[in-house]
Amino acid sequence: MDVTIHRGSKEIGGSCVEVSAGGTRLILDVGLPLVDEDREPFDARTTKNKSVEELIAAKVIPNVPGLFGDGPRPDAILLSHSHIDHAGLLHLTNPEIPIHATKGASQMMLAGDLFANQERLPKERHHRVFPGRPFTVGAFTVTPFSVDHSTFGCVAYLLEADGKSLLYSGDLRWHGRKPEMLQNLVGSIAPRKIDALVMEGTHVGSGRGKGKNEYELEAEILATIREAKKLVLASFSPQDVDRLLSYMNATRDAGRVFVADAYTAFVMHLVAGDTEVPRPGEADPVRIYFNATFQKKRNLQTVAEKIGKSRIELDEILQSPERFVMVFRPSMTRHDFGGRLPAGCRCIYSAWRGYLEKPDWMECQKQVAEAGGDFVPRHTSGHIYEEDLVDLVTKLNPKRVIPIHTFEPGGFSRHFPNATPLNDGERSPIE
Ligand SMILES: [Zn+2]
Q: Is the pLDDT of residue 398 over 90?
A: yes
Structure confidence at residue 404 (pLDDT): 98
Grade residue 352 by pLDDT with cuts at 50, 70 and 90: confident
Q: Which residues pair with 403 in a beta bridge?
A: 199
Tell me if domain 2-207+382-429 and domain 214-377 are identical in fold: no
Structure confidence at residue 302 (pLDDT): 64
Distance 131 CA to ligand 1 centre (A): 18
Q: Which residues pair with 245 in a beta bridge?
A: none
Mean pLDDT computed over 302-317? 79
Q: Is the pLDDT of residue 301 over 70?
A: no
Structure confidence at residue 50 (pLDDT): 83
| Choice among 191-200, 279-288, 332-341 with the minimum mean pLDDT | 279-288
Q: Which amino acid is at 420?
A: T
Distance 291 CA to ligand 1 centre (A): 27
**Mean confidence (pLDDT) of the chain:** 92
Distance 16 CA to ligand 1 centre (A): 13
Mean pLDDT computed over 262-289? 86
152-189 in b/e form (b: 16+ CB < 10 A) is: bbbbbbbbbbeebbbbbbbbbbbbbbbeebbebbbeeb
| Choice among 209-213, 278-282, 324-328, 392-396 with the minimum mean pLDDT | 278-282
Instruction: Find, among 75, 152, 143, the residue nearest to 110 by Cα.
Output: 152
Structure confidence at residue 282 (pLDDT): 74
CATH topology of domain 2-207+382-429: Metallo-beta-lactamase; Chain A (3.60.15)
Distance 344 CA to ligand 1 centre (A): 34
Q: Is the pLDDT of residue 123 over 90?
A: no
Other Cβ atoms closer than 10 A to 103: 17
Grade residue 87 by pLDDT with cuts at 50, 70 and 90: very high
Q: Is the pLDDT of residue 328 over 70?
A: yes
Tens of pLDDT, residue by residue over 38-85, are 777 777 777 778 888 888 888 888 999 999 988 999 999 999 999 999
Q: Is the pLDDT of residue 151 over 90?
A: yes
**Residue ranges of domains in the chain:** 2-207+382-429, 214-377
| Choice among 2-6, 48-52, 270-274 with the minimum mean pLDDT | 48-52
Task: Give residue 425's region: left, alpha or beta (phi > 0; psi -120 to 50).
Answer: left
Distance 247 CA to ligand 1 centre (A): 20
Round to whole Å and give the CA distance between 398 and 120.
Answer: 37
Distance 170 CA to ligand 1 centre (A): 8
Mean pLDDT computed over 145-167? 97
Q: Is the pLDDT of residue 396 over 90?
A: yes
Round to whole Å and give the CA distance between 31 and 60.
Answer: 10
Round to whole Å and give the CA distance between 2 and 21.
Answer: 7
Structure confidence at residue 262 (pLDDT): 86
Give pTM, 2 decimals.
0.94
Distance 149 CA to ligand 1 centre (A): 7
Mean pLDDT computed over 125-145? 97
Choose between 113 and 80: higher pLDDT. 80
Domain 214-377, CATH 3.40.50.10710 — does that match? yes
Distance 86 CA to ligand 1 centre (A): 7
Distance 171 CA to ligand 1 centre (A): 5
Grade residue 298 by pLDDT with cuts at 50, 70 and 90: low
Choose between 252 and 54: higher pLDDT. 252
Q: Give the percent of the chain with pLDDT over 90.
A: 75
Instruction: Find, among 100, 108, 161, 105, the residue nearest to 133 by Cα.
Output: 100
Round to whole Å and give the CA distance between 132 and 70.
Answer: 34
Asked if 347 contacts 328 with a C-beta cutoff of 8 angstroms, the reply is yes
Mean pLDDT computed over 408-415? 95
Distance 326 CA to ligand 1 centre (A): 25
Round to whole Å and give the CA distance between 62 and 77.
Answer: 15
Choose between 51 and 405: higher pLDDT. 405
Tens of pLDDT, residue by residue over 194-242, are 999 999 999 999 888 889 999 999 999 999 999 999 999 999 999 999 9
Distance 177 CA to ligand 1 centre (A): 16
Distance 295 CA to ligand 1 centre (A): 29
Distance 199 CA to ligand 1 centre (A): 13
Structure confidence at residue 363 (pLDDT): 93
Distance 81 CA to ligand 1 centre (A): 7
User: Which residues in 39-121 belong to E strands, given as ranges?
Assistant: 76-78, 99-102
Distance 425 CA to ligand 1 centre (A): 22
Distance 340 CA to ligand 1 centre (A): 34
Contacts of residue 344, Cβ cutoff 8 Å, sequence gap at least 6? 229, 230, 231, 321, 371, 372, 373
